[in-house]
Amino acid sequence: MTKRFWLFAALPALLFAGLSFAQFPILDMVAGKVVQKYEQSTCEQLWVKKGQPKSPQEQEVIARLRNDPALRTEFINRVAAPIANKMFECGMIP
Residue 5 within any structural domain of the chain = no
Q: Is 12 a residue whose pLDDT tops 80? A: no
Residue 75 within any structural domain of the chain = yes
Residue 48 within any structural domain of the chain = yes
How far is Cα 94 from Cα 87, in angstroms, rounded to an integer? 9
- pLDDT value of position 8: 42
pLDDT, tens digit (0-9, with 9 covering 90-100), for 28-76: 998 999 999 999 999 999 988 888 898 999 899 899 999 999 999 999 9
Categorize the per-residue pLDDT at 86 as very low, low, confident or very high, splitting at 50, 70 and 90.
very high
Residue 11 within any structural domain of the chain = no
Which domain range does residue 48 map to? 24-89
Residue 54 within any structural domain of the chain = yes
Residue 80 within any structural domain of the chain = yes
Q: How far is CA 3 from CA 10, 12, 15, 17, 54, in A?
A: 10, 15, 18, 21, 54
Count of domains forming the chain: 1
Closest alpha carbon to 34 in 65, 68, 1: 65
- pLDDT value of position 74: 93
pTM higher than 0.85, yes or no?
no
Residue 7 within any structural domain of the chain = no
